[in-house]
Chain A
Amino acid sequence: MSEGLTAEQEMIRDAARTFAQEIVAPRAAEIDRTHDFPADLVRRAAQLDLMGIIVPEEYGGTALGHLAFAVYVEEVAAVSGALAVILDVHSSVGTEPIVDWGSDEQKRRYLPRLAAGEMLGAFALTEPESGSDAASLQTTAERVGDRYVLNGTKTFITNVGVADLYIVMARTGGPGARGISAFLVEKGMKGLGFGQPMHKMGLHGSPTGEILLDDVEVPEENRLGPEGAGFKVAMKALDSGRIGISAQAVGLARGALDLAVEYAKQRVQFGQPIIQFEGIQFMIADMATAVDAARLMTWDAAAACDAAEPFTLLASMAKLFATDTAMTVTTDAVQIFGGYGYIKEFPVERFMRDAKATQIYEGTNQIQRIVIARELLRGD
């Protein structure tokens, strides 16, 4: 499984695995039960320098790249899908756009704190009336002198309320994609409010909810990228963000697979451990094969991204396949646990609930197919 990883990436995997297995795993069920945001675990991740993997070294990060990032997110997701999405959103869509589009001044101001985990990042594109059709968003940013005044409502925002910096897409011009600009909105800016965390099926402990923008004055120097480039900022963020979501899905699938194999070795029916039954063995074989394929697709997209090659197609295919795999594998894991899989005293149902979200966010899997087909139809 470690084939293709450099010695450095292997050490990162070991460090992330130790963090996940020794620090996160003992807390995962409790976080799911209480829905409490695991601030202490985010702090521990920061102490281990896990929050600046995408940030250049000159801004306090480790710049280890997207493959290393995928390796790390998988390890966390294999024990806690909730913490994985908190940390993934922070690093990818919550931080990376500043690396890609930020002015020197914006980089200096925000990246060191994001890399050190002193600030938590978030990404705000979705609105109540604008989901898959993101270019139809209605939040406005009206220019007044040297500032913009933002009004509107964002919804389904991961890290809502706990994040310190929100990358907000808002309309500065006419309708459609070209009328959108991106802004760096800090918690504490006047007029910025948060809704209550939504009651989700899974990913408990990762707060998701509304951002209310009521005449929020954002200085011009907090516009990220040129005016009118906001949709591009968002789409580029989601391109590489999908590598992180794929890794999260691989982690969830792997975590559930490991639990299912362990259980099948112990559970005795008809006088033998159920893993002796071919029906169970075939399920496990299919699950393991899919997990491996999903991981390789994820790493392939990540490697292309790190090599500055086109990777939109690869990332969309990885996201589609890995998240569908996560859903299938976690569902089959529940099946292998039988009735015990369906009750909360056993951990697999949590993986199944957490997995469902991966098929929906950062572009639903229907939208991934649209992206894949569009890439294939493009040009030649």
Chain B
Amino acid sequence: MNIVVCVKQVPETTAPKEFGPDNRINRAAHEAVVNPFDEYAIEAGLQLKEKHGGEVTILTMGPSGAQDTMRKALAMGADRGLLVSDPALEGSDTWTTAYVLAQALRREEYDLILTGMESTDARTGLVPAALAEQLGLPSLTYASSVEVEDGNVSVRRQVTGGYEEVRGPTPALVSVVKGVNEPRYPSLKGIMAAKRKEITVLDLAQLEIQPDEVGAAGAKTKVLDVTPRPEKQAGQVISPDSPEEAARIIADFLQVNKFI
């Protein structure tokens, strides 16, 4: 079974973000890492490969430096990398990103596309569904488990208050949630082997994409403004007389605010 995992390179996630004059994240100012949500997709892909055999390919759209972060995915155990890189891609939004990934995938043979549930930089979570739409594939999003059998993929789809069981024929696209598994750490042998694995770099011409279809020119959305998150408000301090009273106050709070 051949699996393609879409992996994004994002700015290091804990640092506060800096924005450029065009209201977009200043990526040069941050250390680049594998989108943490994508590590779950990589792990899911590796586990399926261990069960069913086949190959795991890492597909990334990003600057040429993204090869360094792709190496981490290869060190975890993926077999090869595909990097779509072209200066004209700068400023791409979710739709154009999905279009570019779709064009790259049209050249590949695969049974399953795996993605993370969202990226930690923009957090829209739109690319997986847009990608499936463009490729005309079943889209099984927010999976908290993934199984493949007899040409079908089954997932538990996480929804508020429980999960749905969803099944579809392969090839299909599955986005996995955080916590679907515990992503492995690369081993030293994995790191050494990753150096020798192939990363193919593709530009727009090779994907038959016109430069004005993508990047800022092709984007269907525009970031008008960015506003810092409001400062955290002071919390409410309660001083109950007994543990029972404390439990009741907390339970009431959770219920009123619809947490439970």
Please state if A12 and B191 are interface contacts (CB–CB under 8 Å).
yes
State which size class the interface on B falls in.
10 to 19
Chain A residues whose C-beta falls within 8 Å of the C-beta of B192 in the assembled complex: 8, 62
Q: Which residue of B lies closest to A22 (CB)?
A: B185
Check A49–B189 contact: CB distance below 8 A. Answer: yes
Q: Are A15 and B189 in contact (CB under 8 A)?
A: no
User: A289 an interface residue at 8 Å Cβ cutoff?
Assistant: no
Interface hits, A1-35 → B, CB 8 Å: 8, 11-12, 15, 18-19, 22-23
- Minimum distance in angstroms from A24 CB to a CB of chain B: 12
| B195 contacts the other chain (CB 8 A) | yes
* Alpha-carbon distance between A15 and B192 when the two chains are bound, in angstroms: 12
Does B54 sit at the interface, judged by CB under 8 A? Answer: no
- The answer on a CB contact under 8 Å between B195 and A15 is no
Contact A18 B188 (CB under 8 A): no
- Distance, CA A48 to CA B190, complexed state (A): 9
A48 to B192, CA, bound (A): 12
Q: Are B187 and A49 in contact (CB under 8 A)?
A: yes
A23 to B184 CA separation, bound complex (whole angstroms): 12
Contact between B185 and A64, CB atoms less than 8 A apart: no
**Size class of the A contact interface (CB-based, 8 Å):** 10 to 19
Question: Which residues of chain A from 339 to 355 have a CB within 8 Å of any chain B CB?
Answer: none
CA distance A64 to B192 in the complex (A): 10
Q: How far is the CB of A64 from chain B (nearest CB, A)?
A: 7
Would you call A62 and B188 a contact (CB within 8 A)?
A: yes
Binary flags per residue of A28-71, CB closer than 8 Å to B gives 1, else 0: 00000000000000000001111001000000001010000000
The distance in angstroms between the C-alpha atoms of A18 and B189, with both chains bound, is: 16
Distance in Å from the Cβ of A9 to the closest Cβ of chain B? 11
Q: Which residues of B contact A23 (CB under 8 A)?
A: 185
For residue A50, which residues in chain B have a CB less than 8 angstroms away from its CB?
188
Q: For the complex formed, measure the closest distance between the CB of B78 and the CB atoms of chain A, giving whole angstroms.
A: 16
Task: Please report whether the interface of chain B is mostly helix, strand, loop or mixed according to DSSP.
Answer: helix
Which residues of A (104-161) have their CB < 8 Å from a CB of B? none
* Smallest beta-carbon distance A68→chain B, Å: 9
Provide the residues of chain A in CB contact with B75, threshold 8 Å. Answer: 11
In the complex, residue of chain A having the shortest beta-carbon distance to the beta carbon of B190 = A49
Q: Is B91 in contact with chain A by the CB < 8 A criterion?
A: no
A5 to chain B, nearest CB (A): 14
- Give Cα distance in the complex from A23 to B191, angstroms: 19
Residues of A within 8 A of B189 (CB): 49, 62
State whether B188 touches A64 (Cβ < 8 A).
yes
Would B185 and A53 count as touching, CB distance under 8 A? no
Contact flags B194-214 to A (C-beta < 8 A → 1, else 0)? 010000000000000000000
Q: Does B186 contact A (CB under 8 A)?
A: yes
Min CB gap B87→A, angstroms: 26
CA distance A49 to B189 in the complex (A): 7
Q: Are B187 and A48 in contact (CB under 8 A)?
A: yes
Q: Are A49 and B188 in contact (CB under 8 A)?
A: yes
What CA separation (Å) do A212 and B190 show in the bound complex? 41
B191 & A11 in contact (Cβ 8 Å cutoff): yes
User: Does B185 contact A18, Cβ atoms closer than 8 Å?
Assistant: yes
Query: What's the minimum C-beta distance from B256 to chain A, rounded to whole angstroms?
Result: 35
CA A19 – CA B192 in complex, angstroms?
Answer: 17
Closest to A11 in B: B191
Docked CA distance A209–B204 (Å): 66
Q: How far is the CA of A62 from the CA of B187 in the complex (A)?
A: 11
| B32 shortest CB reach to chain A, Å | 13
Mark each residue of chain B from 28 to 39: 1 if its CB lies under 8 Å from any CB of chain A, else 0. 000000000000
- What residues of A have a CB within 8 angstroms of the CB of B190 in the complex? 49
Chain A residue contacts of B187, Cβ below 8 A: 15, 47-49
CB of A16 to closest CB in B, whole Å: 9
- From residue 58 to 115 of chain A, which have CB atoms closer than 8 A to chain B? 62, 64
A261 to B253, CA, bound (A): 40
Residues of A within 8 A of B191 (CB): 8, 11-12, 15
**Chain B residue at smallest Cβ distance from A64:** B188
* A8–B186 touching, CB < 8 Å: no
- Assembly CA distance A48 to B185 (angstroms): 7
Contact mask B46-87 → A, CB, 8 Å, 1/0? 000000000000000000000000000001000000000000
Minimum distance in angstroms from B74 CB to a CB of chain A: 12
A112 to chain B, nearest CB (A): 13
Interface string of B175-187 (1 = CB under 8 A from A): 0000000000111
> What are 26 pairs between A and B in contact, CB < 8 Å?
A8-B192, A8-B195, A11-B75, A11-B191, A12-B188, A12-B191, A15-B185, A15-B186, A15-B187, A15-B188, A19-B185, A22-B185, A23-B185, A48-B186, A48-B187, A48-B188, A49-B187, A49-B188, A49-B189, A49-B190, A50-B188, A53-B188, A62-B188, A62-B189, A62-B192, A64-B188
- List residues of chain B with CB under 8 Å of any chain A CB: 75, 185-192, 195
**Given A11-B191, A53-B188, 20 more contacts at CB 8 Å?**
A8-B191, A8-B195, A12-B188, A12-B191, A15-B186, A15-B191, A18-B185, A19-B185, A23-B185, A47-B187, A48-B185, A48-B187, A48-B188, A49-B187, A49-B189, A49-B190, A50-B188, A62-B188, A62-B192, A64-B188
